[in-house]
Amino acid sequence: MTAKKSAKVIPLKGNKCPMCGKSATMEMRPFCSKRCSDLDLAKWLDGDYRLPTDEVPSDGDFDGIEDDERSG
């Protein structure tokens, strides 16, 4: 009879998940779960972690984009 090796979730003391505040686990560090990890990735991909700036984009920032694509 062989015992199944289950993945233990070991919470890290003092480390909280930046998304939900639960204890982080070794497997998903610094997150507590795959879901929180995926939510953070989605924020990165959507540009939610950008820094605000007062700079105005110049016309050169749109090189390679057709005129009709710029208008939406």
59 located within any domain: no
13-65 confidence digits (pLDDT tens): 668 999 999 999 889 889 999 999 999 999 999 988 888 888 887 776 565 55
pTM: 0.53
pLDDT score of 47 = 86
The Cβ-side half-sphere exposure at 33, using a 13 Å CA radius, reads 7
Q: Considering its fold, how many domains does the chain have in total?
A: 1
Q: Can you tell me which residue has the tokens 């939510």?
A: 39
pLDDT score of 51 = 84
- Interatomic CA distance for residues 50 and 5, integer angstroms: 42
pLDDT score of 42 = 95
Query: What token pair was written down for 28?
Result: 């998903």
| Owning domain of residue 28 | 11-47
Lowest mean pLDDT among 2-11, 36-45, 63-72: 63-72
62 located within any domain: no
The closest alpha carbon to 30, from 41, 19, 42, 45, belongs to: 19
